[in-house]
Amino acid sequence: MKVKYMLMVFGEESEVRAHGSAWAERVTSFMVQLDDELAQSGELVYSEVLEDGHDAFLVDRHGGIHDGSLAGATPLLRFIVVRVTDESRALEIAARMAEAVGSAVEVREVRELHPDAIRP
């Protein structure tokens, strides 16, 4: 049975800009290659690059809209969802990402709900 994991890269846009264009091109090239590799292997479920978290909105339980992000001080920049054979494969992919971006990558298992679990 395969398991889904979300791999998340956090960072500040200012940090990304501080690395320079050569670094950004190298990381972008790596991520495109990784997406292609994971798509070819059938492991890629979904991958996105997000806009700066400082432009995010929070909608509270009363419908109020506020500027900001729940991510806190370090916004989520990119995420990839993979379906892999086990946790070690997800950690292997995350390690490659962390090396490419030069920072930690958060890995979380995606909870799969059985259809019967959501019935009243």
Ordered domains of the chain (ranges, CATH): 3-118 (3.30.70.1060)
Element (H, E) at 98: helix 87-101
Contacts of 97 (CB under 8 A, 6+ apart): 7, 9, 31, 34, 80, 105
pLDDT of residue 58: 80
Closest CA to 77 of 36, 57, 111, 47: 47
Handedness of CA 49, 55, 61, 65 (dihedral sign): negative
84, pLDDT greater than 70: yes
- The answer to whether the beta carbons of residues 53 and 75 sit under 8 Å apart is yes
Distance CA 81, CA 96 (A): 15
pLDDT one-digit tens code per residue, 16-47: 788 888 888 999 999 999 999 999 999 999 99
Q: What percent of the chain has pLDDT over 70?
A: 89
pLDDT of residue 72: 61
DSSP annotation of 63 reads: S
Output the pTM of the full model: 0.82
pLDDT one-digit tens code per residue, 49-80: 888 767 788 888 898 898 877 656 677 889 99
pLDDT of residue 82: 97
